[in-house]
Amino acid sequence: MKNAFVFPGQGAQFPGMGKDLYERSEQARARFQRANDILGFDIASIMFDGTVEALQKTSVTQPAIYIHSVILALELNIQQQADMVAGHSLGEFSALAVSGALSFEDGLKLVQIRANAMQKACDAAPSTMAAIVGMDDAAVEALCLEIGDVSPANYNSPGQLVVSGGVQAIQTLIEQAKTKGAKMAVPLTVNGAFHSSYMEPARIELEAGILNTPFQKPSCPVYQNVCAKGITDPEEIRRNLVAQLTAPVRWTQSVQQMISDGATHFTEIGPGKVLQGLVKRIDKSVQTAGFQSMPTPE
């Protein structure tokens, strides 16, 4: 029996996130204050009392999810319990911080660079994403090649693949996917083609930050999005993290590999319950649980 801990990506944020941590733990309060200092604005107050719209800004969303996930994991002492960790896209930074590969502060600095660089890349070239449900991955991949200017972005679970690309190419793919048997083909409310070549300017900017950041050997294998394998070598982790912005998130393959390597219990740490649902769709035999807040003392 092995315990796998997984960390959510962008889209899991909600107003009030992390407020209970701040109110209940002096250590958590200190970390929220450090986060405010690093970011140069009061992200804690936006997380606790901000609107849904305020939390949707990429420059707020990504740091907020990272801060919530990592502080909660540290409060729950996850590092001592984890046999393996993984995070979906942005969540990979949370997994690296919780496993000790990155410090909380350095991870947050990289997340801020990443969020700002991605926003710039989105503003520079109109692009978007779509979710295709009910088609084989191979069929969606073939359609992407046929249309051009669109590529797989997130392998979320068998039969659920998110694609990224130019606005017109995404529209064409949605129309063609419906004629080829997709149960659902819908545009996502995002302003950029994440995990595609559209993010190349952001990748270059993030790479500079990653190369200047110290990485340590994690306390357990980190199953990285790019390769779907458990990695412990700091330099390999660094290379994979740079590649992540323009490469697809291989979440299905990562979870399958974790199960193959002995994972029987998956626990999601941070806002939302999306990953618990994806894990169950990938393999119903494993147990799933999640924490969005500290458990109430008996």
Cα–Cα distances (Å) from 276 to 83, 136, 156, 270, 281, in that order, read: 18, 22, 11, 11, 9
- The two counts, helices (H) then strands (E), for the chain are 13, 10
Compute CA distances 132 → 81, 83, 116, 175, 180, whole Å: 35, 32, 28, 11, 11
d(CA 298, CA 290): 18
C-alpha–C-alpha distance, residues 295 and 76, integer Å: 9
What residues contact 286, with CB distance under 8 A and at least 6 apart? 259, 263, 264, 265, 266, 279, 280
- Angle (nearest 5°) at CA 190 between 185 and 191: 125
Helix axes 58-75, 91-98, angle to 10 degrees: 30
By annotation, the residues acting in catalysis are 89, 195
CA distances from 290 to 85, 101, 144 (A): 14, 23, 34
Q: Contact, 61 vs 207, CB < 8 A?
A: no
Beta strands in the chain (DSSP E): 2-7, 84-87, 127-133, 150-157, 160-166, 184-187, 222-223, 230-231, 263-269, 287-291
As given in the structure block, the two tokens for residue 37 are 């200092």
**105: its two tokens:** 């502060």
What count of Cα atoms within 13 Å lies in the side-chain half-sphere of residue 155?
21
